[in-house]
Amino acid sequence: MSRRRRRILLTILLLVFAYVGAQLWDIHRVGHLSRDRNTDCIIVLGAAAWHDKPSPVLTERLNHAIELYKNGKSKFIILTGGYGKGAKHAESEVGSDYCLRMGIPETALRVEKESSNTIDNLREAKKIMSSEQWNSALLVSDPWHLKRARRMANDLDLTVYVSATTSSKFKSLKAKSKFLLGEFLLYHSYLFTGKRFGIQHSINRADVWQGNWTRW
């Protein structure tokens, strides 16, 4: 290989590494913006339920939404998430039961049971917001999930402000690295498939993967 070709190849590799590094940093940055302003509602993005109990990841999201509610950031919580494979209880139903046990009044809760991925969570939440004539929402999820979720919400013309969980069940370096890399790939898969072929197409390509990261 000639010196000129080696230089071109090295330049390309450096640009790729720089881009990936910048994107990973931005995923981290967006997840730590957390603007907990007053909004019409709080949207809790779905995560797996273990039978009739929320998984650790879902529990963290619910606890954060409950804290926001009790701090007066909103009077309503939208719980999203349908039935996992073979599940008897929808994620949102399990979340609703948990919120009730934690002292949240039933009148403050809205539940949708149709969605199975992030963008459907947001689609169904948008239907509820439209019917209630709500215009803004705090979007609750794990920090590194929020860049992709915010982008999807913006593409659906939702006015949202990210509010990340303050603790996470992803503790080890391996788990964190896997989650972060997964979100990098999912975000770009959504950009390419969602933007090029329409949002609906992106569900099959990108959010099917979400099961490995957020539906625990």
Instruction: Give a yes or no: residue 196 inside a domain.
Output: no
Q: How far apart are CA 46 and CA 99, in angstroms?
A: 14
Instruction: Give a yes or no: residue 211 inside a domain.
Output: no
Instruction: Give a yes or no: residue 139 inside a domain.
Output: yes
Instruction: Give a yes or no: residue 190 inside a domain.
Output: no
Tell me the CA distances in angstroms from 65 to 18, 140, 192, one per residue in order. Answer: 35, 7, 31
**Which residues are paired to 164 by β-bridges?**
141
- pTM, two decimals, is 0.80
| Boundaries of domain holding 66 | 30-168
Instruction: Give a yes or no: residue 14 inside a domain.
Output: no
CA dihedral 121→208→53→76, nearest 10 degrees, is -10
Token pair of 137 as six digits: 């929402």
**Domain count of the chain?**
1
Instruction: Give a yes or no: residue 100 inside a domain.
Output: yes
Q: How far apart are CA 136 and CA 42, in angstroms?
A: 9
Q: What is the mean pLDDT of residues 150-176?
A: 82
Instruction: Give a yes or no: residue 69 inside a domain.
Output: yes
The per-residue pLDDT for range 60-115, each reduced to its tens digit, is: 999 999 999 999 999 999 999 999 888 899 999 999 999 999 999 999 999 999 99
The per-residue pLDDT for range 46-57, each reduced to its tens digit, is: 998 998 999 999
Instruction: Find the CATH number of the domain harbouring 105.
Output: 3.40.50.620
Q: What is the mean pLDDT of residues 190-206?
A: 53
How do beta strands 53-54 and 49-50 pair?
A: antiparallel
